[in-house]
Each structure stands twice: as structure tokens, then as C-alpha cells.
Structure 1
Amino acid sequence: MSARPVPLASGPDDVRSQAAPAAVPRRAVPSAPPWKRWSTRARLVAVVLAIDVLAALISCGVIVLNARTAVTVETRASLATVEALVADTIRLLEAAPSERLLQTLDLRFQVLRHVRIAVRDAAGAPVGGGLGRPRREKLAPAWFADLILPGIEQHELPIVTAGRVIGSARITTQPMDEIDEIWGYARALALATLCINAAMLAALYLALGRVLAPLGRLADGLTQLERHDYTVRLETPSTREFTVIAARFNQVAEALAAVRAANGRLNRHLLTAQDDERRRTALELHDEFGPCLFALEASAASIGRIAAGPAEPDRDRLAARASEIAAIVAQVQGRNRDLLNRLRPHALGQVPLSECLALLLRDFSRRHPGTTFTGRFDGLARGYGDLADLTVFRCIQESTTNAVRHGRAVQVAAEVREEAGALHVSVADDGVGFGPDHGTGLGLSGMRERVGALDGTFVLDKRSPGAVVRISIPVDPQRGEDANPARSA
């Protein structure tokens, strides 16, 4: 009887696996070849080893070809020599009895190299011990003999005395003697070459480890830079190429450290900038708006007392108080306008850029009557974008403020022109300038950062007398043309 297969009990997991659709096989990600995960030293050693193996194969081929030719030439030469010796022996012993002649030939040519001689009588029976083979200490392996072994040759020489054939001498080539010698030479050469190559590879491995050690230090240094440790420096290696790499690495680390320090200073300035602005605004509100509000309150109280008196109100006094209130309101409006312009120029974006800059210089002339402010803003578009316009406005505002406040300048000249796809801004003054130990304040840092954010350049030069600020900001000429339809026409 044939056994029927018993069905296995299926559990819930089996039911789920049967009900679930077949999973779509994910595409296998091709793995990288193993040699790509090797180190540089291992790859170089592998290349040298491959060259050695290739050289060994070529050398083996040359040895086999030369050995095959040499064995063929040697066996043929031995064959010709033995044939001549057999003929000479027969001629010398021609007078001897036939049996003695055959035995002499058998004994004389029993241990020859490269050939074997079998002496037979007239009936074909071997004389003496027959073909003898001397014992050899070294034998070449069969695969090596098959590569070199030429064809076996046999020559049959009749032994004739007194015109009668008394036997024969069969000469057979034996190339194994020569092959054994070649094998011994090749084995010794291979062993010596193997030892030399092993020593060379070991020395190369150690030398590469020493030569490539700077790469490991470079990798460690890059890891430290990645972890924001910019104090790392590489020692100067002895190799010229690695010396250049180490020098460049140290320069990059120093540059990153300088940038980090500059960013730290800027961050500290930025952290205090808002508080400084709030402090300035609070002081201005307290010093300017506080007295004005107090004066308004006092005038309003005076008007109230005049109106509440039993007698007829003095119209002249009321008019004087009203005039005072109007003057105070005008002063408050002016201070409020100045404060708003400092926080955000309200006209920027509403009127052309050149008019905003002209209004800025007129405001400086009003607030500093002892200084002459001149501006040249001809040929500008209506605007170049909010960010570019605000950057130009703030830079001129800050430069002019520095010239008046710190340089004590008498004349300040500002110029903005568009040329070669860029806005060129210059603010020159005839003040005291700045000394060699002049530091970078918040205003200069702010201007430099604003200009740098727009991929521009900021230069502060000293001249006699005074100083000049030069700024260049790249702009889109097409945007400027679109912003100024009259200029496009």
C-alpha cells in the first residue's frame, strides 16, 4: 500500500499567510565589490602582488619554451653522439667473437645520459640485463614533464662483422634526465624568487604604512573639524605632497577658526543690538516725548483753569496756549517721524530710491546744520528690490552717522551709481578718520554682513583727511529696468 500524505494542521499564522497577497520582491541593491572596501595600502600591495603573479606566469612560459627547445636539442645531440660511438665500437671490436662484441656493447652503453641502448643478438633476444635505467634522486612532476617532454625517438642500428649481421642496437631517447635537471633549476629559482618577493611585499607593506600615515592623521583631523573643533593642526610630514596637503589643511582650520570667532563676535553684537535699539528708543521717548507730553499736560491744565474762572476767558492767553500746544505737537510729530525712519524708512518702496536717499541727506542737514551733505544719485532705477534698497539706505545712513558722530566731519559726500550690473556706493568725509588700532563696531559689522548677504563687497579706506566707505552690490539690471518704465523708454 502506498502511504497517503497527511495534511499538516494550519494555524492562524498559516491562514494569514495564505490570505495575504504575495509580497513584491524588493530590487536587490548591488553590493560594492570587496576590493572597494580595501585600504589604500592593501590596494597598492594587491597591485604589486598581481604584477608579481603576472611576471611569474610570463617567466614560467619562457622557461617552458626554452626548456622544451633545450631538451629536444640535447636529446638529438646525444642520439647522434651515441650512434657514432656504437659505430666506432663495432669497428674496433670487429675481430672479436660475436658474443663478446655484443656483451661489450651492452656493458659500455648501459649508463648513458639522455639515451638508452638495448643490444640484441641475431635472434632478437636481449644481451645481458637488457635496458637498464639508473636511479634518479629527483624526479620532475608529471604535469611539468608533459609541458616539456618532446617525442620519443628510436633508432635501430644493425651490428655487422665480417659482412654478417650478428645483432642490433636499439637507441631510444630518454629526455627525462634533462627534464629532471630543468625541474631542479626551476624549483630553486622559484623558491628564491618567492622568498625575495615575500620580503619585498613585507617591506612595501611597512613602507606604505609609514608613507600613508599622514592620510590617517588627515582623516582624524577632518573628523575633528566635522565636530566643530577648529583648534586641530596637522604636523608637517616628510613627504612633499603630504606637506602641501597638511599646510592647506592647517590654513583651512585657521580660516574656519577665524570665521567662527567672527561669527561669535557678530552673534554677541546681534544679541545686544536689539537691547541697544530698545534702550535708545526708550531714552528718546523719555528725553523727547516725556517733556512734550508734560508741556501738553500743563498747557491743557492752564486752558482748563482759564475756562473755569468766573471772569470772561482771556482770549489772548487761550490763543497763546493753543499756539504752544501746536508747537509741541509739531515737535512730537518730527521726533516721531525721525524715530519711525530710524526703525524703518516709510518712504522706501513708495518713492524712487534716489528720492529716498535725497530725503535722508536733507534730514541729516536739518539735524546737523554745521555739516554740508551732498549726494549724487542720478541714473538709478526706481528700485532694485526691497532688500537691496534697504541695504543701500542703511549703509549710507550708518556711514553718514559715523562721519558726523565719530569723524566730526564738515563735509560728507554720498554717491550711488549703477554700472556693470552692480550698485556702487561710496560715502566720503573730511573728518578725523580712524587710527590703525580702529576696531570693528556694531555699525560696520552690520554693514559688512548686510552687503555680504547680497554677495557684495565692503571696503573701508582711510584717506587724508577723513575716510571713505566703498560698497558694491550686484543687482539684476532687468529688474531695475522693469522698476523704472521711464528709464526703459
Structure 2
Amino acid sequence: MNLKLRLNLIITLLLATVLLLAAVMMIHNARDDVRAEVQSTATLAMHLLDAEILHYTSDFGWLRETDGQNSNSMFRLHSLGNVRHLRIEFFDANGRLRDSNIEGDKQEPASWLVRAMGFISPAMPEIRRKIFANGRMIGELVVTPDPSYEIQEVLGDIMGLLLLVAIFFVAVNALVYWAVGRAMRPVDSVMTALNELERGNLQARLPEFELPELAGISRKFNAMAETLEKSIHNNHRLTQQMIRLQEDERKNLARDLHDEIGQYLTAVHVDASAILNAKNIDGAKESAKAISVVARQMMDIVHDMLQRLRPSGLDAFGLSTAVTDLVNTWKQRNQQVTVNLDIPERLDDVEDETTAIAIYRIVQECLTNVTRHAHASQADIRIGIEGNMVRIDVEDNGRGFNTAELPSGFGLAGMRERVEGLGGYFSLESALAAGARINVELPLQESVGEKQ
């Protein structure tokens, strides 16, 4: 069931409940009003009839006049037909009806409201007056309250009110249905935009809606779509950079294998052939010495290649020694830059291999950036363990750059992706001629936290 039908159903139930309560209250109030009205009319009628009876019982001439007429019209009750709230009847001494103010064919069927009033309200008692003349009873006058006419008037008022309520009910439901339909019309635009995003159209945007609530949704949706578009674009760019970097690394390895290892293997082959063809022991010794020198050079080249692929000291000596060796090696190659390294003794407690490699690669990338871009004379590297987090701070006094226009290289983006992929925090602060500061926080495994 959609929202419009739900609102209409709620309004219908609310109006029906209010209408039912109002009907009960109206019937209750009408009952008391009808009883008071009929009782007042009955009291007034009895005062008049008592005066009439007193007059007739003090003058017996009417009795002789009516004897010849069978005493059918001694009170002329038929002339009181306009007294609608009372039934006035005269019975003779034998209990036969002689006169009444209501004719039999004018009796109207009781309506549902009259029956309801009779059901919820006790019947009003009859008023009887016995009439005596010359010491004998000649009949009985019976006055019965009849609220049906008054109730019919109340029913007419209630039906008019119900008609007005029905018109109001239809108008309110129609207005609510129209207003909700108009207010929910932008939902179609939202669904269309969501479907476009689902199909991969990152250009989908929502218009500015009139309603403040929907306008806020529109702004947030457009901001989310823009962020998603930028994120996917950056991911695509990062993927392409990773592919290019991988291909460059493979190219460098292939070049090193071809240029360096290939030449050395050729030299080894030549010297080995010389040993096989040597005429004396001195010539064989010279070729063997040459093979030994070439083998040592090949070992150094292979070591450097393996170091680029994965730091060997990380597995053999631990993270602390590997980072220290990395910084010392870098300092030997870049003696014009002063590097201050501060690492804790508990750095080897980082047992998770992924986190340890991330720390090593972040320090390595920061040193590479100092060499290639910063042109700094000093760099400070601080690594600390605080609770269950590893904190890395790298700061240099280089030329800096505008953070709004980050370099297009893979380094910074790769560091950010690596840190955020491990659930960490990465921040970069820099300005032109003000150096750069990188802050990284990486979570440790629970087992490491327990050790601390």
C-alpha cells in the first residue's frame, strides 16, 4: 500500500472515530433534551386538562348533553391534533377508547433513531386521571408522552450534519490525495537518478526541489554522486598507474637481466671456455679469477633486484632493523640531506606482515619523494606505537607544493590507498616553500595490542 492510500486510510479511520463519538454524544444529549421537552409539554398539558376536568366535574350539564351522543366527544380531544409530543386518550368506564388527539391512520413508523432512543432511554411513564361524576367513575383520561416527533426533528438535524461531514470527508481525502501525490512526485526523479547510477551513469544528478526536505536530499545525493564519480575516476587512474608501474618494473627487470646478467653470463661463458682451452695453469687461474669477480658482481645485482622486489632484511632481522638499514642506505646515497630517525624498540612487535610491509614502503616512498621532489636539506622520520595504533610522521624542509594540486605521480595516491585499505588514517600538509608533513596511523592486530 503506497503512502497516499495509507494517509487516506488513516484520515478515514480518524474521521470515522470522531464521527462515531460525535453521534454517541449527540444521541445522548438529544435524549436528555427530548425528555426535558416532552416532560415540559406533558406537565403543561396536564395543568390544562386538570382545569378542564375540574370544570366538567363541577357542571353536570355536559354529561346529559353527551349521553345522547355516546360520550364520544366530551373532551373534544381530536381538536388537539397539533399537540405532537403527547398522546391524549379518553377511555370510558368499560375501558373502551372514546376519544384521542391522534388518528390511527396518522401514526408514522418509528425510525432507527427513535428505536435507538427508546433502547438507550427508559420509557416515559403515562399520566392517568380518573374522572368521576355523581360519585361514579365515568372514564379515565390517559396522557402518554410521545417523543417520536421531537426525535424526528433531531434526526433531521443529524442527517444534515452527517451530509456536511460526508462532504468534508470527501473533500479532505481528495485534497490529501492530491497534495501527497504532488509532494511525492519528485520521488520518481530520485528513483530515475538511482537507476541511472545503478546502470553506471555517474553523470546522473537531481534537480533542486521546492520542498526544503527534498531539497536537502537533492543536494546530498548530488554531492554523493560527485564524490562517487571522482572516487571511481581516481580508482581508474590509480589502476592505470599501477599497471604502468608494474610494466615499468618488469621492463627494468628485463633490462637488468639482459644488460647486466646477460653480459656477465657471457663473460662467464668466455672465461669458462678459456679454462677449458687453457694450455697452462696460469691462464686457467686468470680465467677463474675473472669468473669469481663476475659471479660476485652478479650476486650484488641479484641482491639489489631482490631488495627492490621485497626487502630481505624484513624477514631476516625484523621491521626495526629493516627500516634502519633502509634509512642508512639512503643516507649514503644522499649525503647532502640530514635524516633524523626515531623509532621505538617495540617496533618489532608488529607481527602482521601486511602492516609491517606497509610501514616499510611508506618510509621508502617518503624518502623517494624527498629525493625527487622536495629538494630538502633535512628530513625527520618518527615512528611510534600508541595503544593499538602505529603512528608515522615524516617531515621535510623542502620547497613544498599546493595540496589542491597534488602531483600526478603514483606515490602519494599509492600511500593513501595502502593506508586506507588497512583501515588507517592518512593526512598530508604542505604549502609552497614550507615543506611537507605526512601523518599516517595504522591499526595493529588484536594479538599485538594484547602484548603491549
TM-score w.r.t. structure 2 length? 0.84
Query: Within 2, Cα distance between the matches of 1:366 and 1:111?
Result: 128
Query: Of Structure 1 and Structure 2, which has the larger fraction of its residues in helix?
Result: 2
Classify 1:286/1:245 alpha carbon distance in 2 versus 1 (closer, same or farther; 3 Å).
same
What is aligned with 2:246? 274
Cα contact 2:91–2:139 (8 A) shared by 1: yes
Larger deviation, residues 383-392 vs 397-406: 397-406
Query: Within 2, Cα distance between the matches of 1:481 and 1:73?
Result: 88
Query: Within 2, Cα distance between the matches of 1:324 and 1:409?
Result: 42
Matched, 1:469 2:434: no
What is aligned with 2:29? 66
Could you say what the CA RMSD is over the residues aligned between the two structures, in angstroms? 3.3
> Equivalences for 1:46-195 in 2 at 5 Å?
46-91=9-54, 95=59, 96-98=61-63, 99=65, 102-121=73-92, 125-127=96-98, 131-132=102-103, 135=106, 140-141=111-112, 143-147=115-119, 150-159=122-131, 166-195=138-167
Query: Within 2, Cα distance between the matches of 1:297 and 1:406?
Result: 43
Cα contact 2:130–2:137 (8 A) shared by 1: yes
Larger deviation, residues 219-228 vs 264-273: 219-228
What is aligned with 1:10? none
Letter aligned with residue 111 of structure 2: A
For residue 355 of structure 1, report the CA deviation from its aligned partner: 1.0
Query: Within 2, Cα distance between the matches of 1:166 and 1:459?
Result: 118
For residue 391 of structure 1, report the CA deviation from its aligned partner: 0.8
What is aligned with 1:44? 7
For residue 294 of structure 1, report the CA deviation from its aligned partner: 4.8
What is aligned with 2:417? 449
Classify 1:379/1:110 alpha carbon distance in 2 versus 1 (closer, same or farther; 3 Å).
same
Letter aligned with residue 97 of structure 1: W
Q: Structure 1 vs Structure 2: percent identity of aligned residues?
A: 27
What is aligned with 1:28? none
Matched, 1:399 2:375: no
Classify 1:403/1:327 alpha carbon distance in 2 versus 1 (closer, same or farther; 3 Å).
farther
Cα contact 1:67–1:148 (8 A) shared by 2: no
Q: What number of residue pairs does the alignment pair up?
A: 440
What is aligned with 1:358? 324
Q: Secondary structure at the match of 1:349?
A: helix
Cα contact 1:150–1:175 (8 A) shared by 2: no
Q: Secondary structure at the match of 1:416?
A: strand
What is aligned with 1:248? 220
Q: Secondary structure at the match of 1:237?
A: coil
Output one character per residue of 1:111-145: Cα deviation in whole Å (capped at 9) or x when no partner: 42111222345565544577525747895236445
For residue 481 of structure 1, report the CA deviation from its aligned partner: 7.8
Cα contact 1:381–1:481 (8 A) shared by 2: no
Cα contact 2:78–2:101 (8 A) shared by 1: no
Letter aligned with residue 364 of structure 1: W
Q: Secondary structure at the match of 2:374?
A: coil
Query: Within 2, Cα distance between the matches of 1:151 and 1:206?
Result: 50
Letter aligned with residue 43 of structure 1: R
For residue 58 of structure 1, report the CA deviation from its aligned partner: 0.7
Cα contact 2:388–2:449 (8 A) shared by 1: no
> Equivalences for 1:197-216 in 2 at 5 Å?
197-216=169-188
Query: Within 1, Cα distance between the matches of 2:256 and 2:375?
Result: 22
What is aligned with 2:400? 433
Letter aligned with residue 254 of structure 1: E
Structure 1 residue ranges without an equivalent (≥5): 1-37, 483-487
Classify 1:441/1:160 alpha carbon distance in 2 versus 1 (closer, same or farther; 3 Å).
same
Query: Within 2, Cα distance between the matches of 1:412 and 1:130?
Result: 121
Letter aligned with residue 41 of structure 2: S
Classify 1:221/1:139 alpha carbon distance in 2 versus 1 (closer, same or farther; 3 Å).
farther
Output one character per residue of 1:3-50: Cα deviation in whole Å (capped at 9) or x when no partner: xxxxxxxxxxxxxxxxxxxxxxxxxxxxxxxxxxx2222222211111
Letter aligned with residue 308 of structure 2: R
Query: Within 2, Cα distance between the matches of 1:104 and 1:394?
Result: 124
Classify 1:414/1:104 alpha carbon distance in 2 versus 1 (closer, same or farther; 3 Å).
closer
Cα contact 2:88–2:100 (8 A) shared by 1: no
